[in-house]
Amino acid sequence: MHSHDPIAIARNLSPFEFRELAAFNGAAFCMFYGDRMAQSNWELHPDTDELLLVLKGSVTVEILTDSGHYRLPLSAGQFAIVPTGHWHRHVDVHDVIEMFFTPGTTVESTADDPRLCGLPSPYEPAAKEQL
């Protein structure tokens, strides 16, 4: 058993650098540090929900739905669950340390609206694909 301190680990990370923290049920808890970033790339998890937990700072999670989009502002101590199959990205990133858990596939896109691009297939578990 080990203890983990994501806030201490973040002191040595560059903005928007990711780090795996601990293996958990066949996947891993991970974290990232981000600051002064307008927006990240879009990502989607076709086979799992994603847990996003803000430990420090603030960020807004933009989530696309079939009929539009919404923005969910988060600050230290708050978390969100991004439902399976929803494109999402981080916007308005301010000195944020975030822990996340994504036990399945991740698909990324740099498109303005990735809903219009279609999805690659077949999906490989734990694969990271770029649209």
pLDDT at 119: 63
Section 110-114 average pLDDT: 93
- Label the pairing between strands 42-44 and 106-109: antiparallel
Q: How many whole angstroms from its chain centre is CA 91?
A: 11
Q: What is the mean pLDDT of the chain?
A: 89
Please tell me the distance from the alpha carbon of residue 47 to that of residue 27, in angstroms, as a whole number.
Answer: 13
Pair 21, 28: CB distance under 8 Å: yes
pLDDT at 71: 97
- Domains detected in the chain: 6-113+124-130 (2.60.120.10)
Q: pTM to 2 decimals?
A: 0.86
Find the Cα–Cα–Cα–Cα dihedral 52, 54, 55, 57, rounded to 10°: 150
Each residue's pLDDT tens digit, 47-100: 999 999 999 999 999 999 988 999 999 999 999 999 999 999 999 999 999 999
